[in-house]
Structure 1
Amino acid sequence: MAKKCKCECPECMPEWLATFGDLMSLLLCFFVLLLSMSSMDAKKIEEAIGSLQGSMGILSGGTITKNSLKKGTPSTESPIPKNISQMAKEVSQVVKEFNELKQQKMGGSAVSMQEAEEGLIVHLPADISFKPGTAEIYNEDSILFLKRIALIIKTLPPEVQVQIRGFTDNTPLPKTSPYQDNWELSGARALSVVRYLIKFRVAPKKLSFAGYGEYHPVTTNATDEGKKKNRKVDIIFFDQKNVAKNGKKIRKSILDIKK
């Protein structure tokens, strides 16, 4: 009986390598389909590759672009303090209802709301509340609006304060005006709003006011439309603790610079 010859064939590759190869083929097909269905945007491709690399654990994670931060899961951090952010919906509803009511009656400028780092800001156009050169609120709807804002202020925690800021354009006041200049007029308008809030039983210790006159315009005073935007009263909700904390940081920075 002849002796069986030993097979001289090379050893096969490890079994796991075949599975790995199939996986790579599937990933390649996936990318081909993905690219065929989407626009060839370099940032989007970079984000997709980086996401898959990180989740598969095969390669290091990709670059996260600013675009992906905007379109991804929204950040839980708000630009305004949490206790103010919670009541922003209530203020937003009051602003919306006031604008709808005003649009039905007379149209024109609308009240707007803005979330900023310093707090929640409600922009009240001067044209819908004050007559030119005066600081008395003549519009009953504006007074009703302040009454509803006052109801919200009264529910706020003690650390939340409200400041009223008056602004004007650079048009000189007529000689018959009881105010010396725009600076004085802006302060008087802010104080007028404060008076109404106090009348609606907001604690005076929660309120403050300031007049900025024509010196902090939001846009140009060269056009009538720009002047209209610059004439306003802002109602600002801010956390006093947050302001104090930021003040300490600023003072510390100044001391560090001096050292």
Structure 2
Amino acid sequence: MGKKKCPDCPDCLPAWLAAFGDLMSLLLCFFVLLLSMSSMDAKKVSEAIGSLSGAMSVLEGGTQTEISSKRMQDATPMDSQDETSDTVNRVKQAIGDTNEMIEKGQGPVISLEEAQEGFVIELPASLLFKSGSATIENEDAFLFLKRVALIIEELPNEMMVSVQGHTDNQGPGANSPFKDNWELSSARAISVLQELLIDGVEPNRISASGFSEYSPLATNATESGREKNRRVELHFYGKESKEKAKMKQSILDQVSAK
């Protein structure tokens, strides 16, 4: 028995042409997506991803499908950690550049320590001051403090800076205008604070204090240890931690009043 002839049907596009059209549409969408991603910054991309996640109900603890302003805020990834990391990287770059300008073999260099509530920049006293003095005279130190001031200006207003002066246990010396290490450490901290104020740091975001010889990093029995203890520290921390400290102090005042 012979094969039946296919009944006549109206002319239509061949199958390969439909597949080719789908492929071209996909390629067009792909290149449009690449172009849009290249013109968006990271923050906008994060917000878009967060909004999409909220709209698709993939967040924890909800099945809501409509997009609301609160939902979009909850879905948007927090970028405070990214800002802090970027700030730390900029400070590290400034420290590296300054350390290259000074002669590393003749003393301690500027260092950075990350803390629980922020980070700490340690400035060796030998970079800033002469023995027993609280006057900044090193040009490299001035340039570094100017860079730090620029970084502080770009930080959120909640970020505070505490300048802390430290000494060894040897005393200021007979030729020093300061009678003890308390005066010397406080004066050095204030000198750094004043320089940052001149460079544009807002006064309500910065404070200064002296710790004398009572917060050493190393032993005072050796010259290298004493040199490490003579320093000025810049503590960067959030305003929230300062408010917590005030709250604790007020609670203690209430207890003592009773």
Residue deviations 1:81-116 (CA, integer Å, cap 9, x gap): 765344111111101111111137x74321000001
Q: Tell me the amino acid that sits aligned with residue 143 of structure 1.
A: F
- For 1:237, the equivalent position in structure 2 comes to 236
* Uncovered stretches (5+) of structure 2, i.e. residues with no partner: 1-79
* Uncovered stretches (5+) of structure 1, i.e. residues with no partner: 1-79
Partner-residue secondary structure (3-state), 1:131:
coil
**Alpha-carbon distance change, 249 to 191 in structure 1, aligned in 2, over 3 angstroms:** closer
- For 1:84, the equivalent position in structure 2 comes to 84
Residue deviations 1:203-246 (CA, integer Å, cap 9, x gap): 11111000000111111100001000000000111001134347
Per the TM alignment, residue 129 of structure 1 is displaced from its structure 2 partner at its CA by 1.1
Partner-residue secondary structure (3-state), 1:93:
helix
Per the TM alignment, residue 140 of structure 1 is displaced from its structure 2 partner at its CA by 0.5
Query: In 2, distance between residues paired with 1:107 and 1:224?
Result: 13
Whether 2:179 is the aligned partner of 1:180: answer yes
Whether 2:203 is the aligned partner of 1:204: answer yes
Whether 2:90 is the aligned partner of 1:98: answer no
**Alpha-carbon distance change, 183 to 246 in structure 1, aligned in 2, over 3 angstroms:** closer
Per the TM alignment, residue 248 of structure 1 is displaced from its structure 2 partner at its CA by 5.1
- For 2:124, the equivalent position in structure 1 comes to 125
Give the structure-1-normalised TM-score.
Answer: 0.62
Q: Tell me the amino acid that sits aligned with residue 91 of structure 2.
A: V
Identity of aligned residues (%): 41
Over the aligned positions, Cα root-mean-square deviation in angstroms equals 2.6
Query: In 2, distance between residues paired with 1:167 and 1:246?
Result: 22
Partner-residue secondary structure (3-state), 1:87:
helix
Whether the aligned pair in 1 keeps the contact of 2:166 and 2:213 (CA below 8 Å) is yes
Whether the aligned pair in 1 keeps the contact of 2:132 and 2:175 (CA below 8 Å) is no
Query: In 1, distance between residues paired with 2:136 and 2:129?
Result: 5
**Alpha-carbon distance change, 243 to 179 in structure 1, aligned in 2, over 3 angstroms:** same
Whether the aligned pair in 2 keeps the contact of 1:91 and 1:149 (CA below 8 Å) is yes
Residue deviations 1:186-207 (CA, integer Å, cap 9, x gap): 0000000011101111111111
Give the structure-2-normalised TM-score.
Answer: 0.62
How many aligned residue pairs are there? Answer: 176
Q: Tell me the amino acid that sits aligned with residue 97 of structure 1.
A: D
Whether the aligned pair in 2 keeps the contact of 1:167 and 1:211 (CA below 8 Å) is yes
Query: In 1, distance between residues paired with 2:147 and 2:129?
Result: 19
Per the TM alignment, residue 249 of structure 1 is displaced from its structure 2 partner at its CA by 7.6
Partner-residue secondary structure (3-state), 1:158:
coil
Whether the aligned pair in 2 keeps the contact of 1:84 and 1:120 (CA below 8 Å) is no
**Alpha-carbon distance change, 151 to 108 in structure 1, aligned in 2, over 3 angstroms:** same
Matches within 5 A, 1:39-118: 83-103=83-103, 107-118=106-117
Partner-residue secondary structure (3-state), 2:160:
strand
Partner-residue secondary structure (3-state), 1:144:
helix
